[in-house]
Amino acid sequence: MKKIFERALKEIEENGDKLPLDPDVLRAYQIATDEYYDEYLREQCIIDLLKLLRQQKEH
């Protein structure tokens, strides 16, 4: 399962410029990329960011 989140995070990092510059999105990105935060919280942020990124690509 960890490899899935690593690939998702890589996709988010590579396409971060397509995410909106909303403070909540920026905070989620910060949590997702910082190993200081709890793994579950990081995974939830990765999931949310990936969903948002996919929505942005559709439009």
Reported residue count of the chain is 59
Q: Express each pLDDT in 14-47 by its tens digit.
A: 998 888 889 999 999 999 999 999 999 999 999 9
Q: Please tell me the pTM assigned to this model.
A: 0.86
- How far apart are alpha carbons 32 and 43 in whole angstroms? 7
Give me the phi and psi of 21, to 5 degrees please: -90, 40
Continuous segment of H or E residues that includes residue 48: helix 39-58
Instruction: Domain ranges for the chain, please list them.
Output: 2-58
